[in-house]
Each structure stands twice: as C-alpha cells, then as structure tokens.
Amino acid sequence: GDPVTQKNFQEKRRHPRIENNVPFKIYAPDIDLVTETKNISCAGAYCKISKFLEPMTKLKITLLLPVRKGGKVSTKKLSCGGVVVRTENIPNSEDFFTAIFFNDILPRDAQVLAGYVKGALEQEKAAVGP
C-alpha cells in the first residue's frame, strides 16, 4: 500500500472519535451536499451521503459545530479541506458511508474541533458515571 495513506489511517486511529451528529456541508466541483457526521475526530469524519465519491476526491467542507458557552449553545462554522479515504455501499440503500480525512485545516480551527471532541468525550464519561 501507499505509505501516505497507511500513515493517515494510523493517524486516524490515534485520535479519539465521538459518535456525534455534527451537520456539515460538502462541496466538490459537481457536488453540493448537506449531511451530518456519524462520528467525528480531529482528523476526519465518517458520514452517510447520497452520492458515490471516489476515494482521493478532494472536498471543501464546512462543519457547523454546536459550541457551548456559558449555558448557551451557538453554532461555530469551521471550513476545511478534506479528502475521501473510504466509500462503502450501504446494503439496500442508495446511500454511501464515506470516510473523510481533514487534510487542510487551519491550526485554530483544528483547536476548536479538538476542544469540541474533548468536551463531548468528557460529557460521555460524565453520563456513564465512574
């Protein structure tokens, strides 16, 4: 296999993932989709979309992160570049599970995303209890 993608896959495993549904938009030359993540980490997202995207397709992504500040939830827009790393047919469905690696994200946006993931993980732990 190609060492670059190998590294990306290992990298993805290292980042904790959360099963949160974050709305996001995907743009590519002939694609304009709105979907939500099935799970998301600092490194990428896994989602269900209605189009087949070839692996290695480059995308522009806008994430709409629900951010809590002092009891209020506001939506923070993060824009980044992504690349499709995996596409799976969903049996008996027109849709596809698609894994996207965020390959082009600003450091401060990556920090916001990391903070969101960390906050969600802490909430999950709190919900489960000791």
Q: Render pLDDT for 26-77 as a digit per residue (tens, 0 to 9).
A: 998 888 999 999 999 999 999 999 999 999 999 999 999 988 878 898 999 9
Render 37-68 in DSSP notation, one character per residue: EEEE-SSEEEEEESS---TT-EEEEEEEEEEE
* Angle formed at CA 53 by CA 110 and CA 1, multiple of 5 degrees: 75
For residues 6 and 38, the model is more confident at 38
Q: What is the pTM of this model?
A: 0.83
pLDDT tier at 126 (50, 70, 90 boundaries)?
A: confident
pLDDT tier at 121 (50, 70, 90 boundaries)?
A: confident
pLDDT tier at 13 (50, 70, 90 boundaries)?
A: low
CA-based torsion, 104, 109, 114, 117: positive or negative: negative
pLDDT computed for residue 6 by the predictor: 47
DSSP, collapsed to helix, strand or coil, labels residue 127 as helix
